[in-house]
Structure 1
Amino acid sequence: MHRRDFISGALASAAAGLWLPAGAADSVQARTVLVVGDSLSAEYGIARGSGWVALLEQRLAKEKKPWKVVNASISGDTTAGGRSRIGSLLAQHQPAVVVIELGGNDALRGLPLQSTADNLRNMVQAAKKSGARVLLLGMQIPPNYGQAYARKFAEVFVEISREQRTALLPFLLKGIADDADATRMFQADRIHPRAEAHPRILNNVWPALEPLLR
C-alpha cells in the first residue's frame, strides 16, 4: 500500500470512529480512580467486595466506563497518614481522579483541626499538581464530641474544597448516620457501617464523582 493510500484510509476510518492511533485505546483503558481513605473505605468488618469502593468498581464495569479503581484505604488511617502516603501513591498509580476520604479518625482522636486542614490541603495540592482531579469526601461527627468542635470539623472540608476549587461531598454518611434509627445501619461498634449501608454510600458519592469521569 502506498503511503498516500494508507493515510487516506486511516483518515477515513478515523472519521467513521473506527480507528485510533497506536496505543490510544490502551491510554483510555488505563485511566485510574485512586481512593485514599480509612476504614469506611477499607471494608472494615464486612465481607470483601461489599464495600462502596468495590461497588464503585462494579458499577463502572457494568456501565462500560473505561476506568479502573485502586483502593489505597487503610483502617485507622488519619490525614497525617494519608499525607505521608500520597506522593508514592500518585507516582505508582498515576491516577486521573483522586478521592480523599480521611479525617474521621482525626476527629475521634481529638486532633487539632488546623493539622487536619493542613494535611488535607497538602494531599489535594499534591494530587492536583500530578494532573488529577480531586473529590473530597466530607465527614461529620456527633455533637457529643462538643458542638463547636463538631461544627468546625465539618467546615474544614468545605473550606478546603472552596479554597482549592475541588469537588466535594459534604457528608459521606448522609442518610445513614443521620437516619431516624441510625444504629440499624451500623455494626456493633456504632462507628462502621454495615454492608447494607454501602450501596447508599456509593449513591452519595456517585453524583459528585461521575462528572470527574467525563
Structure 2
Amino acid sequence: MKFCLNRKTPYSVISGLLLVLTVWGCGSSDTKTNTTTTPAEQAASKPDSPAKKQTILFYGNSLTAGYGVEPSQAFSALIGKKVDSLGLNYRVVNAGLSGETTAGGKSRIGWVLRQPVAIFVLELGGNDGLRGLPLADTRKNLQAIMDTVRQKSPQATIVLAGMQIPPNMGTSYTKEFRGMFKELADKNKAVLIPFLLENVGGIPKLNQPDGIHPTPAGHKIVANTVWKVIRPLLK
C-alpha cells in the first residue's frame, strides 16, 4: 500500500517550513486552536500562557500533513483535540510535508527545531521504502534526525512511528524495512508505535480513492493508535 506522493516543488518545501516557523514564531498556544491551520489564523488566535505550554511536534510526510483531508481531520489535529479536551498543558505542532523522505527530513530538521519540544513524533521512512532506497541510508538519516532532536531538546521524548511496505522490493528488503524501526527505537531508547497505519492500511473504505492516503475515518483510527502510545507520556 502506498501512502505518499512525490516530493513537491522547492516552493512548496519553503512554504511548509514557513508555516511551521510562523506557528512557533507567533507563540500561539490557545487550547482551542488547531495548529494545522493557516498562519493568518494562528496569528489571530488568542495566546494562552505560551511560555508554559509544552510542544508535541509531529514530523513526517503526507500522512502527518493530512493530505486530501481538512487540516482539522488529520490525525495530528485529532491528537491536539484530545489534549485540549483533557486540559493538558501541551500544544500540537504539525510539521508534516507531503512527499518527504528521510533525507529531506534530515535537511530541514534544524529549521523546524527552533524552539524546544517535549515530545517529538517521527513519522518518516515510508517514501524511502516505496522507492527502494538503500536502507543503510534511511537508517543513517533517521538516526541523524534523532541525534539533532537530542542535541536541541535533550529532555524530549522521541516517539518513532513504525511503517510497513508491500513486498514489491522483495521479501528481504520488506522484512528489513519493517524491523528497522524497532531496532532504531531500541537503540535510541525511543517509544515505538509498531505500525502507524494499523487497521487502516490496505482497507479501501478507510483510504481515499487514490488508495494512498487515509480518509477522515482512517485518520480517526490512526489518531487512536497514536494516542494509546502518547497519552502515558503526557504529564
Partner secondary structure for residue 65 of structure 2: coil
User: 1:122 pairs with 121, 126, 144, which one?
Assistant: 144
Task: Show structure 1 runs of 5+ residues with no match.
Answer: 1-24
Aligned residue for 2:218? 197
Aligned residue for 1:9? none
Consecutive aligned runs of 4 or more in structure 1 exceeding 6 Å deviation: none
Aligned residue for 2:232? 211
Give 1:161's aligned amino acid. Answer: A
| Alpha carbons 1:28, 1:66 under 8 Å: kept | no
Aligned residue for 2:180? 156
User: 2:200 pairs with 169, 176, 187, which one?
Assistant: 176
CA displacement 1:160-182 (0-9 Å, x = unmatched): 0011111010100011115xxx1
Aligned residue for 1:142? 166
| Alpha carbons 1:82, 1:123 under 8 Å: kept | yes
TM-score, structure 1 as length reference? 0.82
| Alpha carbons 1:134, 1:166 under 8 Å: kept | yes
Instruction: Quote the RMSD (CA, aligned, Å).
Output: 1.6
Cα displacement (A) at 1:112: 0.5
Aligned length: 186
Cα displacement (A) at 1:26: 4.4
User: 1:49 pairs with 45, 52, 72, which one?
Assistant: 72
Aligned residue for 1:113? 135
TM-score, structure 2 as length reference? 0.75
Distance 1:145 1:186, change over 3 A: farther
CA distance in structure 2 between the aligned counterparts of 1:189 and 1:152, rounded to whole angstroms = 27
Partner secondary structure for residue 82 of structure 1: helix
Give 1:140's aligned amino acid. Answer: Q
CA distance in structure 2 between the aligned counterparts of 1:104 and 1:186, rounded to whole angstroms = 16
Cα displacement (A) at 1:103: 0.6
CA displacement 1:171-194 (0-9 Å, x = unmatched): 00011115xxx1221112211111
Are 2:80 and 1:81 equivalent residues in the alignment?
A: no
| Alpha carbons 1:127, 1:133 under 8 Å: kept | no
